Amino acid sequence: MLKTEQFQANEVEVLSETPLHKGFLSVSSYRLRHPLFAGGMSQEIEREVMLRGKAAGLLAYDPKRQEIVLVEQFRIGAYICGDKPWLLELVAGIEEPGESLETLVKREAVEEAGIQVCGELLKICDYMVSPGGTSEKISLYCGEVDSSDAGGIHGLAHEGEDIRVHVLSVSDAFAAVRQGRIDNAATIIALQWLELNHESVFR
């Protein structure tokens, strides 16, 4: 049996936390020591962390039409990597104070894609985006939508959003993952989950 609970978070000794930058993203530097698997404590280490908080993504699925609603927008990280910087993604956003993640994805569905979630949300999973360098944790949901009128360009102007909506058949969405045309983690995870479970989702 896999055992991964030898240590607890309260055993980490934080020596200092220094804010480095606060803007669209915030970064802090931590000096700390942590328990070692062989016993004792590590030497003092320093790590910079992008402070991102909780986020959530919505797999907008129309089970009647067997279609997926995705959004396309510019992403600076993909540009810096030298990849195509306009990505096909899930509707997604960052949690605001006092907002539940379920409310978040329903709000973002309207803001980013002009669609409404019908009924309950199905939880797909939670995962850390890149725990070696960011605190961001994403919760993924699947929600039933009506894709018949989905389309157009959306987003909030004051946030600099320029978001184009795409409607894909389920089979085309699955193929886009296999072909590498969808290449961001949240969307890949959600679509692979749907490929495994779509026979029973919202039936």
The one catalytic residue in 159, 161, 195, 199 is 159
Within a 10 A sphere around the Cβ of 174, how many other Cβ atoms?
A: 18
159 is catalytic: yes
Q: 176-181 contacts: CB < 8 A, separation 24 or more? A: 176/88, 181/88
Determine contact, residues 31/16, Cβ cutoff 8 Å: yes
Helix (H) or strand (E) holding 126: strand 118-128
In whole angstroms, what is the distance from residue 184 CA to residue 163 CA? 16
Q: Number of helices (H) and strands (E) in the chain: give both, helices first.
A: 4, 11
The letter for the amino acid at 140 is L
Active site residues: 159
